[in-house]
Every structure is written in structure tokens, then in C-alpha cells.
């Protein structure tokens, strides 16, 4: 297994979202937006059903309750405004009537897309916006959330660690791929 990177440039994130909406690929747009905004592992993201994201009134829920496949822990995950908007737009195009239906279905079947297809999609999106210098894959969406939380929103590494379910801050730092260039940049900026 190869290590994959987060998307580090917010302009590239915006470019992928714009590209997917422009292609009228609202399933892919929702997959990308929900993925980068929830930091769910790909196995949990692909296992979501329509019923997981809708409340009793048929509205997009603010929170989803899942049992994480890897850790077997129950988790309550917030669907922020952008994730809910992407899902709303997706459901307007493909009405959600069956709560048991996979949220992100294959276009060829009524089954969820699989990890291999998700990997192909994510790599294609990254390549299409010029991200070719690093490896990207199914963990890219989750890592992008962590990277952006730290870099753009100054979220303490301990909170990111808790969100991602890592055992130590060191694991989280390694997971986010803190580079030598970032350390050098900090060394240049911190002048006492």
C-alpha cells in the first residue's frame, strides 16, 4: 500500500468542486464534498445509505450516526452546511425514496460504488486539476479535512487527532504529511 497525500491547496479543492458540478456529476460532487467535510474513512463513506443522511421528515440531517467499520465504534458525525447543500442538490437530481439504497450508487447497478472505483474517481479528479506531483487515493478526502483544519483553521493537532481517532498526536502529524518545507517555513516565520 502506498502513502497518499491530502489536497493541500484550497484552490484545487474549489477547482474539483467546480469541475464536478460543471460535469453535472452530482453524485461525484456529493461524494467529494461529504468526504472532505466529514473526514469519514472511505469504507464508512461508501457504506452510507440514503436513510443515514435523512431525518424522519425526509430532510438532510445535521448529524449522522454510524458504526465505524474499522474501529467498530459508534460515531456521531456532523454534516456541515456545505455537505448538506451538496446532498440536497444531489437528491434534487436523483430523488431519495428508498432509505436502504446506497447513498453513492454505481451508475451501472443499484450497489454502492466500491473502493477501487472511488480510488479511480479521486485520482481522476486530482489529475484533472493538475495535482500530479503526489499520490492521491481514497484516504485523500479524509487527509484533506485534517490538513485544512490544521493549516487554514488553526485547529490544534489534539482536536484533529480526536476527530480522526488516532492514538497519539504523532500519528496524526505523520498522517497529515507535515513536510520539511512546512517546518522550514515555520522556522523562518518564528523570529523571537
pLDDT tens for residues 86-95? Answer: 999 999 988 8
Buried b or exposed e, range 93-106, using 16+ CB within 10 angstroms = eeebeeeeebbbee
**Residues 93, 99 contacting (CB under 8 angstroms):** no
pLDDT tens for residues 76-88? Answer: 999 999 999 999 9
pLDDT bucket at 187, cuts 50 / 70 / 90: confident
Task: State mean pLDDT over 86-112.
Answer: 89
- List 102's β-bridge partners, or say none: 49
Predicted model pTM: 0.90
CA 53 to chain centre: 15
DSSP 107-140: SSSSSBPPHHHHHHHHHHHHHHTT--SS---TTH
pLDDT tens for residues 43-60? Answer: 999 999 999 999 989 899
Q: Which domains does the chain have, with CATH numbers?
A: 10-189 (1.10.443.10)
Which three cell numbers mark 14?
Answer: 474549489
pLDDT tens for residues 150-165? Answer: 989 989 999 999 999 9
User: Which is more confident, 39 or 183?
Assistant: 39
| CB proximity list for 85: less than 8 A, separation 6 or greater | 33
Would you name the residues annotated as active-site residues? Answer: 41, 70, 139, 142, 166, 175
**What's the pLDDT score for residue 1?**
56
Is the pLDDT assigned to residue 170 strictly greater than 60? yes
pLDDT tens for residues 12-41? Answer: 999 999 999 987 789 999 999 999 999 999
| CB proximity list for 142: less than 8 A, separation 6 or greater | 35, 39, 40, 41, 42, 164
Amino acid at each position: 500500500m502506498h502513502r497518499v497525500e491530502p489536497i493541500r491547496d484550497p484552490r484545487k479543492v474549489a477547482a474539483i468542486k467546480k469541475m464536478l458540478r460543471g460535469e453535472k456529476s452530482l453524485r461525484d460532487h456529493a461524494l467529494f464534498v461529504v468526504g472532505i467535510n466529514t473526514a469519514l474513512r472511505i469504507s464508512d463513506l461508501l457504506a452510507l445509505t440514503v436513510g443515514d443522511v435523512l431525518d424522519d421528515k425526509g430532510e438532510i440531517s445535521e448529524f449522522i450516526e454510524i458504526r465505524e467499520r474499522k474501529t467498530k465504534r459508534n460515531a456521531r458525525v456532523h454534516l456541515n452546511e456545505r455537505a448538506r447543500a451538496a446532498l440536497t442538490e444531489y437528491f434534487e437530481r436523483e430523488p431519495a425514496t428508498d432509505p436502504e439504497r446506497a447513498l453513492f450508487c454505481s451508475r451501472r447497478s443499484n450497489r454502492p460504488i466500491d473502493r477501487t472505483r472511488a480510488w479511480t474517481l479521486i485520482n481522476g479528479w486530482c489529475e484533472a486539476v493538475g495535482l500530479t506531483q503526489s499520490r492521491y487515493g481514497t484516504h485523500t478526502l479524509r487527509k484533506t479535512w485534517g490538513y485544512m483544519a490544521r493549516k487554514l483553521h488553526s485547529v490544534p493537532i489534539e482536536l484533529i487527532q480526536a476527530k480522526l481517532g488516532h492514538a497519539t498526536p504523532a500519528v496524526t502529524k505523520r498522517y497529515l504529511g507535515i513536510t520539511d518545507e512546512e517546518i522550514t517555513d515555520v522556522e523562518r516565520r518564528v523570529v523571537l
